[in-house]
Amino acid sequence: MNPLQENIQLAISRISDYLVQNQTSTSWQLKVMFRLSSSVLYLALGSLYQQGKISLEADGINYNVTWGKKPENAVASAPVLKEQM
């Protein structure tokens, strides 16, 4: 594993541990608290989001990060359109 991958994995672990205990945070709080570069922060958040472990809600230039799955009433992603021939 290269150093960037190690940094991302460490960030994922630290963010997960923090959110399990506190349930919510902002992306800015996580960045400052764990002294993460923007790249590592957003790659870690993207990984957690893809795994369904967190939900993200845009709030200006920051994101509200919540431990747990998306709420039931969240907007679903757009369906894939098939090309008509």
59: tokens are 């709030």
**pTM score, two decimals?**
0.79
Describe the strand order of the beta sheet including 62-67 as a list of residue ranges. Answer: 24-26, 62-67, 54-59
The CATH fold assigned to 3-67 is Arc Repressor Mutant, subunit A (1.10.10)
26: CB partners within 8 A, 6+ apart: 59, 62, 63, 64, 65
Domains in the chain: boundaries: 3-67
Res 1: pLDDT? 84
Residue 31, amino acid: K
CA distance 83 to 24: 41
* Res 76 pLDDT > 60: no
* Res 77 pLDDT > 50: no
